[in-house]
Structure 1
Amino acid sequence: MNKQFAGSVAALALIAGAVQVSMAQGDKPKLDERLGSAKAVIQEIMATPDKGIPQSILSSASCVVVVPSFKKGAFVVGGQYGQGVATCRTPHGWSSPVFVRLEGGSFGFQIGGQSTDLVLIAMNKNGLQDMLKAKFKLGADAAASAGPVGRNAQAGTDWKLNAEFLTYSRSKGLFAGLDLDGTVLSQNGDDTRAFYGSDVPFEGVLEGNQPTPPAARPFVGTVAKYFIVSRDAQ
């Protein structure tokens, strides 16, 4: 009887493992699409630099989080929830991405019925360290403020010292700073696991210890292209 029970448990474990693998494979196209959407957000913002992120911010960024909108099922309609990807600057270039979620706070992901793209930029090592936590709240665990817009936009003299994160939104073609205080940013371990095919250390990926998969190279390359070029042009 014990042997039969043990055999049943082992069989169930194998079935559960197969189901998890199948689910991960099914999620992969969705994650590839999210990376493609995040790449498009960066490209469209940088296509109009006079109304985009100032060069001084691009050159100082430690990490970039992009939460693109999806046409179907990307977030709860009328809710405060979104899925995105993050990459960080390392001594060897920009890291392979991890998947994150953004939820809560007083903002909405629907503005006038239109979906909204969000961009969060970690400006210093404190911002980077906060991002490496499992979960943290903007404005509480990490100082955040609406980022200035425009190639030569001037912000307050202390923005770079005090703001660990600068936040932006893009809706109906308008790109502007956005107050995201109270919003919780956390890692999406399930999506990251599905993308890489196994459990990978969230912190290690952002520190550059994980090779960038082919599906992620267009997004990472787009971030590297604009941020590094802007920095070198200073």
Structure 2
Amino acid sequence: MKMLLLTLMLLGITIPTFAVDQSELDERVRKLTNKFEAMQDKPDKKVPAEDLRKAQGVILLERTKAGFIFAFEGGGGLAMVRDPKSQKWSPPAFLNANEASLGFQVGGQQSFIVILLMTTNATRLLTQGDIELGGEARGTAGNSSAGAEGKTGSQPSIKVYDDRQGLYGGAALKGGALSGNDDANNTYYKEYAPLEEILFKRKFKPSEAAGKLIEKIEQNAK
């Protein structure tokens, strides 16, 4: 499976895949939507509207005390990509998070993480090869404005925001891996559904739950 190696604040551990159905995956989308809404309701933690407007891709992840929630609950996260021409969002593709190499000091219990892919090239990392972005992720407890940035050239290509529930001391991540959750995606779209076709070829239409997530992202970009 092709991997995306990101510079971001996460602790990855491998969790076995369990069978889920479409309704459980819709519930996963709704839960992540609610987490995003809750984060945006906090002025000191919200993702800035300007960043959401400029973002070409978005990844939502939830971290628990034990690590990230993956296929165990229908995909630990999801990604969506904006069409360069129409600027419309793709349907969501479910993701797994895999082991990361990092040095960390963590006092937190749980966090919700929003990763913005700021360039078209950054969005293609979701499907192209094993790519590592250099740098370190650092942040201040409960302050999304201290989002980590991965850079391509002189411009930030990735921005990371987290809404920590509990004290977080700081992190320096050397490499974290994300990959498509094939089982969840195939189940959700009721056929073979690789990331390329979900995110870039617009073969599938957003579900009602996904449509509401897109609506919330667009509302918060104004």
Q: TM-score, normalised by structure 2?
A: 0.69
More helix by share: 1
Q: TM-score, normalised by structure 1?
A: 0.66
In the comparison of the two structures, how many residue pairs are matched? Answer: 194
Superposed counterparts of 1:5-154, under 5 Å: 26-69=20-63, 75=69, 83-90=76-83, 91-106=86-101, 111-112=106-107, 114-133=109-128, 136-139=130-133, 149-150=144-145
Deviation of 1:39 after TM superposition, in Å, equals 0.4
Task: Give the one of 164, 169, 184 matched to 2:157.
Answer: 164
Which letter maps to 1:56?
E
With over 3 angstroms needed to count, the CA separation of the structure-2 counterparts of 1:180 and 1:49, relative to structure 1, is farther
More strand by share: 2
Deviation of 1:172 after TM superposition, in Å, equals 1.0
With over 3 angstroms needed to count, the CA separation of the structure-2 counterparts of 1:34 and 1:144, relative to structure 1, is farther
| Structure 1 spans left out of the alignment, 5+ residues | 1-22, 77-81, 230-234
User: 2:185 & 2:195 partners in 1: Cα distance?
Assistant: 8
User: 1:71 & 1:109 partners in 2: Cα distance?
Assistant: 14
User: 2:148 & 2:68 partners in 1: Cα distance?
Assistant: 33
With over 3 angstroms needed to count, the CA separation of the structure-2 counterparts of 1:197 and 1:155, relative to structure 1, is closer
Which letter maps to 1:101?
N
| Structure 2 spans left out of the alignment, 5+ residues | 1-17
Deviation of 1:180 after TM superposition, in Å, equals 4.4
User: 1:66 & 1:46 partners in 2: Cα distance?
Assistant: 13
With over 3 angstroms needed to count, the CA separation of the structure-2 counterparts of 1:216 and 1:51, relative to structure 1, is closer
Higher relative contact order (CA 8 A, sep 6+): 2
1:146-167, CA deviations, whole angstroms, 9 ceiling, x for partnerless residues?
A: 58844xx8999x8894332112
Match of residue 217 from structure 1: 211
User: 2:199 & 2:168 partners in 1: Cα distance?
Assistant: 27
